[in-house]
Amino acid sequence: MPPAASADLPALDELLATARVVALPLVTRFRGIEVREAMLFEGPQGWTEFSPFAEYDDDEASTWLAAAIDFGWNAPPPALRDRIPVNATVPAVDPDSVPAVLARFPGCRTAKVKAAASDQTLAQDVARVRAVREALGPEGRVRLDANGGWNVDEAEHAIHALAPFDLEYVEQPCASVEELAEIRRRTKYMGIPIAADESVRRAADPLAVAEAGAADLLVIKAQPLGGIRRALAIVAEAGLPVVVSSALDTSIGLAMGAHLAAAVPTLEFDCGLGTASLLAADVTRAPLVPEDGSIAVHRVLPDPELLERYAAPAERVDWWIERLARCHAVLATTLPVE
């Protein structure tokens, strides 16, 4: 997927002039990490975030930079709502830890539960989902996220095992579009929708999953898709319901996601934008954590003292600056430079 942003490309020196790199500890190990690093900088429209995960190559990471520039240099589209309902996110924790995790998401009646971790068994997934269902009660909504961790046969077996817990949907049970189409075909009689995440945000063609009939809904994220406008264009063309989610962002990055969710024409599902609750620290003293099950739509200003307190080590700052320069060079081949 080529990088995209509607702003001209600011000069690298302009980005570096306000750039800050932070390293924020997590409450619980999540996605294999215990500290979330992010680069922040300020544009004419406000602060913005560039935080592709460390393992992503420069081509993929440059799409995240396009999104950061879009949010920092362009006014967001008109908002259709001022608050976004959000879900709780339950990492691959033991069942006994589930109540404490859910308590960090006050008012949330939907929970996304991580499954298919390489170091865990299906029995552990079942126990975790059972604990979430018991905590939320029969009226709560439980969705599952496997991050593409199963093959088709494993996914079919797992969905059968987890179906008694009344799943709202299963997100990315398998890795490829072809596998998603097959598992959707095999389990359609069960009435459990299949959602696509990685098959949208990490695909050369984010519309391929919709065109293949491989998903019932799409999970979209502002940074990986190149910004709010690009994500909205994908939503319009795909013609499927969407869930707006995050990539374990700081509250500044979550504000970008909230503005995307505010502009989506129809929002049928609670969004995965409550993940500031997974951070043990943030860059603002008013983080975008859930209140009564939702977050507000507004830009976030970082607190200078918190930027200092959670500044990344010097060698990591250098690593991010070098990465920014490489990704800027990638964008320079596709975007006009101011």
CB 101 within 8 A of CB 274: no
Query: Of residues 20, 36, 112, 114, which has the active-site annotation?
Result: 114
Tokens 């990986």 belong to residue: 224
Residues in the annotated binding site for Mg(2+) = 145, 171, 197
Q: Is 221 a catalytic residue?
A: yes
Q: Is 114 a catalytic residue?
A: yes
Query: Of residues 221, 229, 230, 323, which has the active-site annotation?
Result: 221
- Axis-axis angle for helices 58-73, 314-332 (nearest 10): 90
Residues in the annotated binding site = 145, 171, 197
Chain mean position to CA 259: 14
**Catalytic residue numbers, as ranges:** 114, 221
